Amino acid sequence: MEVPVRTSFPFACCLLLTGVHAASIPAQGGTSGIVISQLYGGGGNSGATLRNDFIELFNSGNQAVTVTGWSVQYAAATGVSWNPTVLDGVIQPGQYYLIQEHAEGGGTVSLPTPDVSDNTNLSATDGKIALVSNATALSGASPTGSQIIDFVGYGAANAAEGSPVPALDNTTAAIRLSGGCTDTNNNRADFVLGPPVPRNSHSPVNLCSTAPLTPVFSILKTHTGNFTQGQNGASYTIMVANSGTASTNGQVTVTENTPNGLSAVSMSGRSWNCPPLGTTCTRSDTLNPGASYSTITVAVNVASNAPASVNNQATVAGGGASQQSASDLTTITPSGAPAPSIAAGGVVPVGSTVATIQPGEWVSIYGTSLASSTVTWNGNFPTSLGGTSVTINGKSAYLSFVSPGQINLQAPNDTGTGTVLVVVTNASGSASSTVTLAEFGPSFLLLDNKHVAGIIIRANGSGAYGGGTYDIVGPTGTSLGYSTVAARAGDTIELFGTGFGPTNPAVPSGQGFSGAAPTTNAVTLYINGVAATPAFAGLSGAGLYQLNLTVPSGVGTGDVSLVATVGGVQTPPTVVISLQ
């Protein structure tokens, strides 16, 4: 049975774990230029001339794109299960790329030599195709994320960019206009129906742009943490890349522009020529489109009277490209800033007060001076954020949020158990505490201080969120600041939590995850004392557990107790679910 999972949810903004749930496919804004240019699902069917289904890609940009490890994925019109076909190779500007799929047995004409072959059986009339920058199978009826490069829905598809392409048949394909160059992010406007005309990498090139090829620099300047007044040997890194369409030609110069409060000590980088005590680095080797030079490290000293923040800048010029600049705003703390301190019992699972955590679990640390400012991650699982880092049992944790009074993090992988040391470190010092590390540390995510985070599935489209697909569980009304609805007996609900134990397959900490990894130990729910067994319990996102169940009868109304047990360990008893 296919398990529907949600890898993001509307209240996650408050928990700083994932993004906002989206039930329809937004316009895909990838800069690669690769689009789905044609699709056909009638191969080998009655009346068809071609023997195979196919999907065609096209490079509408002006740079070659490597698609090795990418995939095209197919789902039925209202399906939630996706079938990937893994891609390989490079698509040049204006070039097509043919993906051969299932043959039904009829037809008389073979496709041109495909660039990739697989056996996914596309519907001849209705379906969904996604172009994805990895080979991990998508999940859900309308998946989203930066990994989705292009998306086409056709016929009765319940997801599309804009509106779906009209239904196809055994003799018609969906063909992108202008030979693949038209992309308004509306499937119905971008495609026309017509006889299938499959094109492969050997077909005539169709360049969408005749703009001149030029190198274009991008420059990034970064640092880690906060600097301290009087600090010596603080450092920045500078990275230079070519985001243009031609290689550089001639000498490239990077210049450090150190502001008042900082003094440059040295610049260095592999294959860069950086004079001692200078503020420039040069090199003359070619930088091809899409490539980067090795990083430059800039060492600086911080003045004892440096201001609270400085904006450090760098420029890159030459090589036949226009000059580009980058700046890096840096916080400077007073030399006497207080050291961090962790509150007693202040290391707990998110939404819990029990000082037992599980490897991979989302954890909160409470205290004072834990960070010099409030900083939120960008989804990249950093081990240092805003100048603050945390270790648990000597292993680096992955930070999603830091502030003076609270840190949210994902605990690292660890096979150890028992009492372990937790250390918070920032520019002002370190603080330590202990916590119990165990195989299980279950806790529900919360909308406030007691209401469980969850949704009610609305198959009839009557929900307030996700294009009518769901409601948020809570007291009926807007008492929480947004619309929530109390659940009824018979409702299908999805509840979210953390720390529900090992899964199969195992999902490592510190990296993104989207899918369904069931728990290896059974999870039992008790709603107002009545046992309820989830249809699914497991990870659906990084550190995020999802429990799918039907609300049983006889559980009462109002805010009633909600407790889950896994591996003999119980969630905190203060959590409630709203029922009517």
Mean pLDDT of the chain: 89
Residue 310's pLDDT is: 93
Question: Is the per-residue pLDDT at 514 higher than 90?
Answer: no
What the chain holds in terms of domains, given with CATH numbers, is: 31-194 (2.60.40.1260), 217-333 (2.60.40.1530), 341-437 (2.60.40.10), 443-579 (no CATH)
Question: Is the per-residue pLDDT at 13 higher than 50?
Answer: no
- Parallel/antiparallel/unpaired status of strands 321-333 and 309-318: antiparallel
Q: Of 113, 114, 147, 112, which is closest to residue 132 (Cα–Cα)?
A: 147
Residue 460's pLDDT is: 92
Q: Which amino acid is at 557?
A: T
Question: Is the per-residue pLDDT at 368 higher than 90?
Answer: yes
The residue among 296 and 63 whose pLDDT is bigger is 296
User: pLDDT of 447-474, one tens digit each?
Assistant: 998 999 999 999 999 999 888 889 999 9
Tell whether omega for the bond before 505 is within 30 degrees of 0, i.e. cis. Answer: yes
**What does the pLDDT average to over 258-274?**
94
Among 10-19, 71-80, 127-136, 491-500, the range scoring the smallest mean pLDDT is: 10-19
User: pLDDT of 129-148, one tens digit each?
Assistant: 999 999 999 999 889 888 99
Integer-rounded Cα radius of gyration of the chain:
27
Question: Is the per-residue pLDDT at 58 higher than 90?
Answer: yes
The answer to whether residues 44 and 107 touch, using CB atoms and an 8 Å cutoff, is yes
Residue 226's pLDDT is: 86
Question: Is the per-residue pLDDT at 443 higher than 60?
Answer: yes
Residue 62's pLDDT is: 84
User: Which are the contacts of 56, defined by CB distance < 8 A and separation ≥ 6?
Assistant: 36, 37, 38, 39, 96, 97, 98, 99, 198, 199
The residue among 122 and 61 whose pLDDT is bigger is 122
Burial 433-449 (b: 16+ CB within 10 A, else e): bebebbbbbbbbbbbee
**What does the pLDDT average to over 535-556?**
94
Within a 10 A sphere around the Cβ of 342, how many other Cβ atoms?
A: 22
Q: What span, in angstroms and rounded, lies between the C-alpha atoms of 300 and 278?
A: 12
Q: What span, in angstroms and rounded, lies between the C-alpha atoms of 135 and 54?
A: 18
The residue among 399 and 208 whose pLDDT is bigger is 399
Q: Of 150, 131, 128, which is closest to residue 140 (Cα–Cα)?
A: 128
User: pLDDT of 200-215, one tens digit each?
Assistant: 999 999 988 755 678 9
Residue in the structure block whose two tokens are 């009610």? 456
Residue 18's pLDDT is: 32
**What does the pLDDT average to over 357-376?**
93
Residue 253's pLDDT is: 97
Locate 546 and state its tokens: 């999802």
Residue 16's pLDDT is: 33
Q: What span, in angstroms and rounded, lies between the C-alpha atoms of 195 and 281?
A: 58
Q: What span, in angstroms and rounded, lies between the C-alpha atoms of 222 and 224?
A: 7
Residue 27's pLDDT is: 44
- Burial status of residue 287 (CB atoms within 10 A of its CB: 0-12, 13-18, 19 or more): buried
Global pTM reads: 0.49
**How large a percentage of the chain has pLDDT more than 90?**
72
Residue 29's pLDDT is: 43
Question: Is the per-residue pLDDT at 8 higher than 80?
Answer: no
Residue 51 C-alpha from the chain's centroid: 38
Question: Is the per-residue pLDDT at 2 higher than 90?
Answer: no
Residue 31's pLDDT is: 54
Q: How many CA atoms lie within 13 A of 148 on its CB side?
A: 24
Per-residue confidence band for 14, with pLDDT thresholds at 50, 70 and 90: very low
Locate 497 and state its tokens: 């939590």
